[in-house]
Structure 1
C-alpha cells in the first residue's frame, strides 16, 4: 500500500487588510516573504518535495508558493474553493488528487487549514492551530479518494 504525504501550509504573514479593497488581493508583508522562504528551506531540509501543489487563488497564497522556491517543475492547481471553502470542501478536493501523487502540498488559509488538520488527526495540532507560515505534515496509507484520517507526523513554524 502506498504511503501518502499531505503537507498543509498556512500562507505566510499578509499585509494589513485595511490597505486593500478586498481580502483576496492582500499580498504578503515583508516578514511574510522571509517566512515563506524559511518554509521552503525547511521543506527541502526535511526532504518534503511535493509532486503536486493545490493553492488558493488569493494573492498571499500565490506569493507564499513563489517564496518557497520549489521550481517550475512541480504542477500547481489554483483553486478558489480553498479560499472560500470549509475544511469538508477542501477534503473533497484532496480526495480528487491524481493517484500518481505521493506528496501533495496544500497552501491555504485559517481556519480551514487548521480545521482540516484537526479533522484528519483530531487534537494533534499544538497551540490551537497553525500560525501564519505554519506547516502540518500528515501521512496515511491508501488512495487519496479514501482520505479520512492521516497521522500528524510533524508541525513547524519556520521563521525567516
Structure 2
C-alpha cells in the first residue's frame, strides 16, 4: 500500500482526503457465554451480508479493516467481506471491544498514512459516538437518517475528511452517507 502524492508535491498523508467507514456488528444472540463470545443471531446472519452488499454497491473499497476481536464482530465481517469486490487487509483489534469514543479516536490517530480508506467494525455506543463526533457536517439527509435510526445493528456510517490520520478529531469530517438494514 502506498499513498499517492498530490500534484502539488505534498508529502503523503498531509492533505489527501481520507474515508472512515464505521460498521456496527450485526444482531447478536444471547446464549450462556461471555459477552465477548456472543455469536450472531439469525437476523444478524442475514443483515451482515446485506451490509456487505450495500458497501460493495456504493463503490466503497478499503485499504484496511480494523475489527473488534469479539465473536459477533468477527462473524459480521466474515459475512460482509464476501460481498465486497476487494478483500482489504484485516487487523483484529482487542481495543475495539467495549471501546469508548476516546479509544476509537486514538486508534484512528494511529492508522498509517498510507491507508486512505479505513473500515472499522465495532460496537455501540462507540460506533454511534464516533460517527456523531467526527461528523462536523453532513451531506443531504445523512445526519437526520442516522439520528432517526439511532445506529442500529449492522448500520454503516461513511465519513470523509481531509488530512492525515493524526488530525482526526471532533468535527473534522463530513458524514456522506448512512445506511441501516431495517431503518
TM-score normalised per structure 1: 0.92
Q: Which runs of 5+ in 2 are unaligned?
A: 1-14, 138-142
Q: 1:96 aligns with which of 107, 110, 125?
A: 110
Matched, 1:136 2:160: no
Matched, 1:65 2:53: no
Mark the structure with the bigger radius of gyration. 2
Q: Structure 2 matches for 1:1-160, cutoff 5 A?
A: 1-16=15-30, 19-68=31-80, 69=82, 70=84, 73-121=87-135, 124=143, 125-127=146-148, 129-148=150-169, 149-158=172-181
| C-alpha distance in structure 1 between counterparts of 2:147 and 2:164, whole Å | 27
Asked if structure 2 preserves the Cα contact closer than 8 Å seen for 1:10 and 1:108, the reply is: yes
Which stretch of structure 1 is more off in the superposition, 126-135 or 40-49?
A: 126-135
Deviation of the 1:110 alpha carbon: 0.4
1:84 counterpart SS class: coil
Q: Which runs of 5+ in 1 are unaligned?
A: none
Greater relative CO, 1 or 2 (CA 8 Å, sep 6+): 1
Q: CA RMSD in A?
A: 1.7
Asked if structure 1 preserves the Cα contact closer than 8 Å seen for 2:136 and 2:173, the reply is: no
| C-alpha distance in structure 2 between counterparts of 1:108 and 1:146, whole Å | 21
